[in-house]
Amino acid sequence: MIDCIKCKVSKESIEVMNFKGDLGVEIKKSVCNECFLEWENDMQMKVMNEYRLDLSNKEHRDFLIKKMKEFFTLIETEL
């Protein structure tokens, strides 16, 4: 179980983590499985479509990670 910073509820921790290194560790210790899957299965695609991201482009990949951190409330949302 984990106290999720996104939904503020104590829930199951993430089962499958695709992100390696510090980012993966940070997400896994902060976000529940449900919120992570919400990003993976839904929000990620919405962000990619909204901003027309091309994941072969490193800047775009970095932008997607920034948006993910904002979604998880790991960082503050820039207005």
Nearest to 73 by CA among 5, 3, 1: 5
The residue (of 7 and 64) whose beta carbon lies closer to Zn ion is 7
What gap in Å lies between CA 22 and CA 28, rounded to an integer?
10
Which residue from 14, 27, 30, 35 is in contact with Zn ion, where contact means CB under 5 A? Answer: 35
- Verify binding: residue 32, Zn ion, rule CB under 5 A: yes
Residue 52 C-beta: closest distance to Zn ion, Å: 28
Nearest to 9 by CA among 27, 28, 35: 35
- Interface residues for Zn ion in 53-72 (CB under 5 A)? none
